[in-house]
Amino acid sequence: MTLSCPLPLPTYDDVVAAAGRIAGHAHRTPVISSRTVNEEFGAQVFFKCENLQRMGAFKFRGAFNALARFDAAQRKAGVVAFSSGNHAQGIALAARELGIPATIVMPKDAPAAKVAATQGYGATVVFYDRYTQDREQITRELAERNGLTQIPPYDHADVLAGQGTAAKELFEEVGELDAFFVCLGGGGLLSGSALATRALSPRCKLYGVEPEAGNDGQQSFRTGSIVHIDTPKTIADGAQTQHLGQITFPIIRRDVDDILTVSDAQLVDAMRFLAERMKLVVEPTGCLGFAAARAMRDQLKGQRVGVLISGGNVDLARLGALLAG
């Protein structure tokens, strides 16, 4: 697939508008720093803690921004979304707050905590088999049959503009940075962060970080066209995407400096460090940025570094098993 995006791409103005819509609904999450990390890096490291966002991940930002723009007919009919977890919860919670019915298409093997939370927010959950069934087709059919509006997890202008508000808050709080590490799945978080970075800290090196087993983003970035892969086997379940989006990719290609990868073992090390030393419960996907920053800390000496911690939704039993394993 080549780079063809007929629509005008969203801009930083859309991130600013999103920030206005989510104000009072999403948390302005804390920015945390650690003396131990700063000493280990010989740098100043700022963690933007979206694991402390409502429903436990940044996804609430994009979901709320998208649903807040529904017209009266869309609100009445409802929203449908597919997701392996956090997007589902984000849509479910935002929909409940806005009084919009929500239907979520989820894989049968999604983490139990994520399924329970989605149902707990009042959404109707429809299950599918991620290895044999096409979730996009199932979602499309539900949308057509019931007149629902589909909100995809990343390839949507309002979703990515909402995700960009976390980076906007970080730069507003700490000022310009030399380097910024952001987790990468389908690219909603990274492309929104890129719009905020280029507006607020234009010289900052911006890195997207994905799991080694699913480096479609890195391949796409380097070849210039969207590469599709099979569902990658990785503990980073929030980054098991098969390809970047038609809207996220051109922004990433234009505004991001490089795409890095980390192994599952590096993710477990990062999870352990964040839990033990910083008392932060972070899900495997949420550790991508920090794991990559640690791996290149020698190049970051003396710099001001941002790390986006994207989410904290992990079953405690699973966290224990990963740390013990």
Which residue type sits at 94?
A
Quick check: 78 binds ligand PLP (CB under 6 A)?
Answer: no
Min dist. Cβ of residue 90 to ligand PLP (A): 8
Looking at the chain, how many residues does it have?
Answer: 325
Structure tokens at 315: 């079953």
Quick check: 283 binds ligand PLP (CB under 6 A)?
Answer: yes
59 annotated active-site: yes
216 annotated active-site: yes
Q: Considering only 23-31, 133-141, 177-185, 267-275, which stretch makes contact with ligand PLP by CB under 6 A?
A: 177-185
Which residue type sits at 210?
E
CA angle 290, 45, 10 (to 5 degrees): 70
Inter-residue contact 10 to 195 (CB < 8 Å):
yes
Quick check: 193 binds ligand PLP (CB under 6 A)?
Answer: no
Inter-residue contact 172 to 199 (CB < 8 Å):
no
Cα(87)–Cα(125) distance, integer angstroms? 13
Choosing from 10, 186, 214, 289, the residue that interacts with ligand PLP (CB under 6 A) is 186
Quick check: 261 binds ligand PLP (CB under 6 A)?
Answer: no
Quick check: 152 binds ligand PLP (CB under 6 A)?
Answer: no
Cα(287)–Cα(313) distance, integer angstroms? 12
Q: How far is CA 199 from CA 46, 121, 196, in A?
A: 19, 35, 5
Inter-residue contact 161 to 10 (CB < 8 Å):
yes
Min dist. Cβ of residue 103 to ligand PLP (A): 19
Q: Considering only 4-12, 108-116, 238-246, 273-281, which stretch makes contact with ligand PLP by CB under 6 A?
A: 238-246
84 annotated active-site: yes
Total binding residues toward ligand PLP, as defined by CB under 6 A: 22
Catalytic residue among 216, 237, 269, 283: 216
Burial 145-165 (b: 16+ CB within 10 A, else e): eeebbbbbbbbbbbbbbbbbb
Quick check: 155 binds ligand PLP (CB under 6 A)?
Answer: no
Quick check: 184 binds ligand PLP (CB under 6 A)?
Answer: yes
178 annotated active-site: no
Residue 101: count of CB within 10 angstroms of its CB: 17
Quick check: 289 binds ligand PLP (CB under 6 A)?
Answer: no
Token pair 């799991």 in the structure block, residue: 211
Structure tokens at 89: 């919860």
Structure tokens at 163: 């995700």
Catalytic residue among 169, 210, 269, 283: 210
Choosing from 15, 37, 57, 102, the residue that interacts with ligand PLP (CB under 6 A) is 57
214 annotated active-site: yes
Choosing from 239, 260, 270, 293, the residue that interacts with ligand PLP (CB under 6 A) is 239
Active site residues: 59, 84, 210, 214, 216, 310
Binding residues for ligand PLP, rule: CB under 6 A, are 57, 59, 86, 153-154, 163, 183-190, 238-239, 241, 283, 285-286, 310-311
